């Protein structure tokens, strides 16, 4: 499909690929770069490089092929299943895996792994989410690890979706943040939506703000450079935790999108990804009515970063007072 448009007056000079990635929400930056290099995206009928700077008055012609038909196939990707019955499945998602297929990620997703799991086990999966998102009641970002629930029946899907909508789901996240919040605990209330300038990010600069709230508690301080916080989201907006912590002045370590390059390395400690983990998920079982609660510790990559930060802030190796582990130990001793 060929489309054509002219850069409007007032548009700031920027790379062609960066300009297009904010305009074409369904096409990844790498895919756009390939199309530019193939000459399928041109400026003033000229073949250019992805780094070419656009300017007002430029005429951009795009010949973007239709997305290839999505053939949903199961793939033998390991799953850490925490619980499974006829209604639902609870798993611990590893970091680095995309939850559902989308342009640029047609394979290797959590959905592909789930399809293989159910094909080999003889189980079913809810069809409410459609071909691309079967059984998905909620999602986690690619780099976020942690507990997820998958609906196996349409009844379970509707019941769980209702709990998420009513905010009766129990959710606890762990994050490592840049710097240390002044208050040891607090509530962040900030309406957010898709950013007016960068359509792939979310912020309070939006034409469609949605109320959102996150409680937080500082669990451990790593000197003045970083902190380990527990997060209790009252709502479930896209990128809510990442945006809220950034608004507090303490973006999540490794989150280049919202925190910039400064949060990717702390005193020589490199962040392998966004340091965010969905630690606990609690809900009412759709079929039994019983309260279910699942908790998993942070994965190895995040644990190593925490150990490195601990060593930096406390070379002697003694754990600082005031952490949740210290409080729990004191409770056990009483």
Q: For CA atoms 323, 258, 273, 279, give the dihedral sign.
A: positive
- What DSSP element (H or E) covers 62? strand 59-63
Angle at the Cα of 208 (from 60 to 55), degrees rounded to 5?
20
| Known catalytic membership, residue 141 | yes
Question: Cα dist. 216→60, 172, 186, 281 in Å?
Answer: 46, 10, 6, 16
Catalytic residue chosen out of the listed positions 58, 141, 219, 255? 141
In the block, tokens 């499945």 appear at: 89
Asked if 299 and 95 count as a contact pair (C-beta separation under 8 A), the reply is yes
* Burial of 288: CB neighbours in 10 Å, binned 0-12, 13-18, 19+: exposed
Question: Cα dist. 202→5, 241, 243, 252, 256 in Å?
Answer: 26, 11, 7, 15, 14
Question: Cα dist. 26→32, 102, 125, 295 in Å?
Answer: 10, 8, 26, 34
Dihedrals phi, psi of 5, to nearest 5 degrees: -155, 165
Q: What gap in Å lies between CA 303 and CA 102, rounded to an integer?
A: 30
Helix (H, G, I), strand (E, B), or coil: what is residue 97?
Answer: coil
Q: For CA atoms 154, 155, 159, 162, give the dihedral sign.
A: positive
Asked if 277 and 255 count as a contact pair (C-beta separation under 8 A), the reply is no
Nearest CA among 51, 99, 57, 61 for reference residue 77 = 99
Q: Which residues are catalytic?
A: 141
């Amino acid at each position: 499909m060929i489309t054509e448009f002219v850069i409007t007056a007032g548009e700031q000079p920027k790379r062609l690929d960066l300009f297009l990635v904010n305009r074409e929400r369904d096409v990844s930056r790498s895919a756009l770069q390939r199309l530019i290099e193939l000459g399928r995206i041109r400026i003033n009928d000229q073949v250019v490089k992805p780094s070419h700077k656009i300017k007002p008055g430029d005429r951009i012609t795009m010949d973007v092929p239709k997305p290839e038909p999505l053939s949903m196939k199961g793939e033998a990707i390991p799953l850490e299943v925490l619980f499974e019955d006829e209604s639902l499945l609870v798993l611990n998602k590893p970091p680095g895996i995309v939850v559902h297929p989308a342009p640029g990620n047609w394979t290797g997703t959590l959905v592909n792994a789930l399809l293989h799991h159910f094909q080999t086990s003889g189980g079913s999966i809810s069809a409410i989410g459609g071909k691309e998102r079967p059984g998905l009641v909620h999602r986690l970002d690619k780099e976020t690890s942690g507990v997820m629930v998958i609906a196996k029946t349409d009844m379970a899907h509707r019941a769980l979706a209702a709990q998420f909508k009513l905010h009766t789901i129990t959710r606890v996240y762990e994050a490592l943040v840049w710097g240390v919040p002044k208050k040891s605990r607090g509530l962040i209330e900030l309406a957010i939506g898709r950013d007016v300038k960068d359509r792939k990010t979310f912020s309070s600069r939006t034409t469609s703000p949605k109320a959102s709230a996150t409680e937080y508690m500082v669990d451990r301080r790593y000197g003045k450079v970083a902190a380990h916080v527990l997060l209790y989201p009252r709502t479930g907006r896209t990128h809510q935790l990442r945006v809220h912590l950034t608004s507090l002045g303490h973006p999540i370590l490794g989150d280049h999108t919202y925190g910039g390059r400064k949060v990717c390395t702390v005193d020589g400690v490199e962040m392998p990804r966004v340091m965010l983990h969905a630690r606990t998920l609690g809900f009412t079982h759709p079929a039994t009515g019983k309260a279910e609660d699942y908790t998993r510790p942070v994965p190895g990559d995040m644990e190593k970063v925490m150990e490195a930060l601990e060593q930096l802030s406390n070379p002697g190796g003694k754990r600082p007072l005031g952490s949740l582990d210290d409080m729990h130990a004191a409770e056990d001793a009483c």
